[in-house]
A = this chain, B = another copy of it.
Amino acid sequence: LACSVEIICVGNELLIGKTLNTNAQWLADQITRLGGKVARIMEVGDDVQEIASVVKEALKRKVDFVITSGGLGPTFDDKTLQGVSRATGKKLKLNPEALRLVRDRYKEMSVPKRLRLTKPRVKMAILPEGSSPIPNPIGTAPGVLVERGSSKLISLPGVPKELKAIFEKGVAEMMREKSGDLSFYESNMIVRGIVESALAPLLDRVMRDNPRVYVKSHPKGGEGRTGALIELHFSSTEKNRGKAREQVIKAIIDMVRILGKTR
């Protein structure tokens, strides 16, 4: 029913802990709001074989969308499309439409004509055969769409602003279409003065009585402290946003009642 998605983030900077992966969180949040379901997030380094492996594994699971972020730029360490090419068996080839996008971008930047298409710049237009570039409204490297069976494999650049711009303008609509009218609704509730291990059986009861609502507890003060503080996160995905909302609210009311009875 829901539209299934896996996210692959490419970059050594993630694996050495230099960069916090805000791209994965932003994408996951957007996809969830569009009614999609993120099944896995993977992070790998700038290594063609590693990229190819995770892309292949994700495609094997036949999700509707595989989104990669990072590794599309002009430098030697931008290897995502080499990995995609190896995973899909589609050879890298100069894509005329992508070349036009790259050229126009440097023209807008007033780069003199003879310098516009240097080798590193042309690299950004060399895509797996049969793929389509997705325009980059604010940067130079276009996004890339490769269709593979019923899966759409979409590669986005790692610069957060560019990733967001391409996703919003060129990807979100595809996902919205796939997920139909599905809507996600969420709400939080803070519970004080009860430790998570004491809350557990109450949560079980609320979950059982509200099977379409997912409740998750996030201890904020730690189980080992007095004045424990727990955040409860209620969420529901339904065809109808009103119904998702209604179910979440009912579960919260149930929780409040049960908590009231125990103290």
A residues with a Cβ closer than 8 A to B are 11-22, 24-32, 37-46, 50, 54, 73-77, 105, 108-109, 118-121, 124, 138-141, 159, 161-162, 184, 186, 196-201, 203-204, 207, 214, 216-219, 222-226, 233, 235
Contacts and interface: CB of A to CB of B under 8 A. Distances in A.
A24 B233 CA distance: 22
B139 A224 contact: yes
A30 B19 CA distance: 13
B21 A21 contact: yes
A125 B80 CA distance: 43
* Copies of this protein in the complex: 2
Give the 7 A-B residue pairs with the shortest CB-CB distance, closest first: A17-B29, A17-B28, A120-B200, A74-B197, A41-B43, A140-B223, A15-B38
B29 A222 contact: no
A224 B118 CA distance: 15
Contacts of A207: 76
A223 B73 contact: yes
Contacts of A216: 11-13, 46, 77
A110 to B, nearest CB: 9
A219 B76 contact: no
Contact of A40 (B19, B50, B121, B184): B50
Given A73-B197, A73-B223, 18 more contacts: A11-B216, A14-B41, A15-B28, A15-B40, A16-B28, A17-B26, A17-B32, A18-B186, A20-B20, A21-B21, A40-B50, A42-B43, A75-B203, A76-B204, A118-B197, A118-B198, A119-B201, A162-B222
27 contacts: A12-B214, A12-B216, A13-B216, A15-B37, A15-B38, A15-B39, A16-B29, A16-B32, A16-B38, A17-B24, A17-B26, A17-B28, A17-B31, A17-B32, A17-B38, A19-B25, A24-B43, A39-B45, A40-B43, A41-B43, A75-B217, A76-B200, A118-B198, A124-B197, A138-B222, A139-B223, A159-B222
Majority secondary structure, A binding face: mixed
Tell me which of A75, A77, A138, A226 has the highest count of chain B C-beta atoms within 10 A of its own C-beta: A75
